Each structure stands twice: as C-alpha cells, then as structure tokens.
Amino acid sequence: MSLMSSLLPPLASSSYINTAPKLKTTHTPNLVLGQRVLPNLLSLALAVTLASPLPSHAIPSLNSQPPPISLTTPFSQSKNLELGLENGKIRPCPSINPGCISTNPKSSSFSFPWLIPSNSSDDAIQKLREAILKTQKNVKFQPVEDTPDGQYLQAEVDGGFGRDILEFLVKGDVVAYRCVAMKVTYVYPFTTAFGDSKGQEARLKQINDQLG
C-alpha cells in the first residue's frame, strides 16, 4: 500500500449510500390541475357571457308600456252613449241602460213605430217638433238631418234622473224612435242599473196624443 492511499480516508461503500434516508415527496397532480383549470374556465365563461347578446325579452325597454287593463264596466259603458242612426236605422237600447225604449226589434224594451195619417205626412217633422215643445221641458233640438233612410230628428229634454235623448226617424208614413236616458243610476252597493222605461213610454204617449 502506498503512502497516498494510507493518508486518504476510505471511500464510502455503495451500501452506505443506498441506506441514506430519503425525503418522501407527495405529488397532487389533480389538485394542481384543478387550481390551474378552474380559474381559466371561470374567465372563459365570463367572457362568453359578456360577448353573447341577451335575448330581447330579457332586457326591459324604458319605453315599453304595460299591457292595457280593461276597465270596461256597466258604469263606464253608460258614459259612452252612442247616438244617431246605425246602418240607416234607429239604434236599439243599450243592455246596460234600463231607462230606454226603442222601435228597434233588437231592444228588450221594444215599442211599435207610429203610423202617420195620410193628411199629415207632408209636415210630419214640423208637427213632431211642436208636439215635443208642448209636452217636454227644456227642449234642445239638433238640426234635422235628411238621410237616404228618412229625416232624422234629435232632441234633448229633462228626464227623471237628468237629461234624456229623443230620436226620431220619419220615413214615408212610419215614425221610428228611441227615448233613452243619458244618465244611468246604480243603487249602492249593487251593480244593477236603476231606470224607468215606463216613464219613457208615458213621455212618448204624451207626444203621440199631442200629435192627434
């Protein structure tokens, strides 16, 4: 053995190297992958949501109006009384207005038309105006209308609960008419309208008797 080999320490054997303690490393590939992928997925979803147009019904318009609510009631209908001829004929009585009588056969309060004597057909409208003035109060006439279906006369007079409208259509020797109250009265708390068609019949009888 040489002097150099005696001075150097002996080399570590392979068994000594293999028996050295080793640190045990635990790998969590799934956890690491989740920590990296999840934020990316959230970012991608947010980007798609912001870039995609929303359906039109999902965004309320500032100018959009709510659908109209029907407020049609018997009381509101009674405020919109339709006057004048309908297809050349006297109108029927409104179903919500019991203070009415009409020669229109569609009316529940139906009355027969008048027949003009042959010697009075020439001035029937003038005599009708005079009879209304003599039997009714606070009469207000509208101008007489000459229509293809006859002469139409409208008058407004005092009624039992306000003002009433008298309508006449003179054609040949026949007089069709309608008498209707402009105001419909309802008895609280009921929604049934209160009217007097018998009073309208009495008024028409007064006019007819005055005509003779």
| 71-105: pLDDT as tens digits | 455 455 556 778 899 999 999 988 878 888 999 99
Instruction: State pLDDT tens for residues 3-52.
Output: 444 444 554 444 444 445 554 544 544 544 445 555 565 565 555 455 55
Q: Residue with structure tokens 């150099």?
A: 4
Kindly tell me the sign of the dihedral angle through the C-alpha atoms of 56, 58, 59, 64: positive
DSSP E strand boundaries for the chain: 100-102, 114-115, 140-141, 145-147, 150-158, 163-171, 174-181, 185-186, 193-194
Give the residue from 201, 184, 202 showing the smallest Cα distance to 193: 184
Give dist(CA 208, CA 177) in Å, integer.
Answer: 12
pTM for the whole structure? 0.60
For 58, the token pair is: 């999902």
Does 7 or 106 have the greater pLDDT score? Answer: 106
Kindly tell me if the per-residue pLDDT of 212 is higher than 90. no
pLDDT of residue 115: 93
Q: For residues 157-166, give the mean pLDDT.
A: 86
pLDDT of residue 11: 46
Q: For residues 95-119, give the mean pLDDT.
A: 87
For 27, the token pair is: 């790998």
pLDDT of residue 188: 61
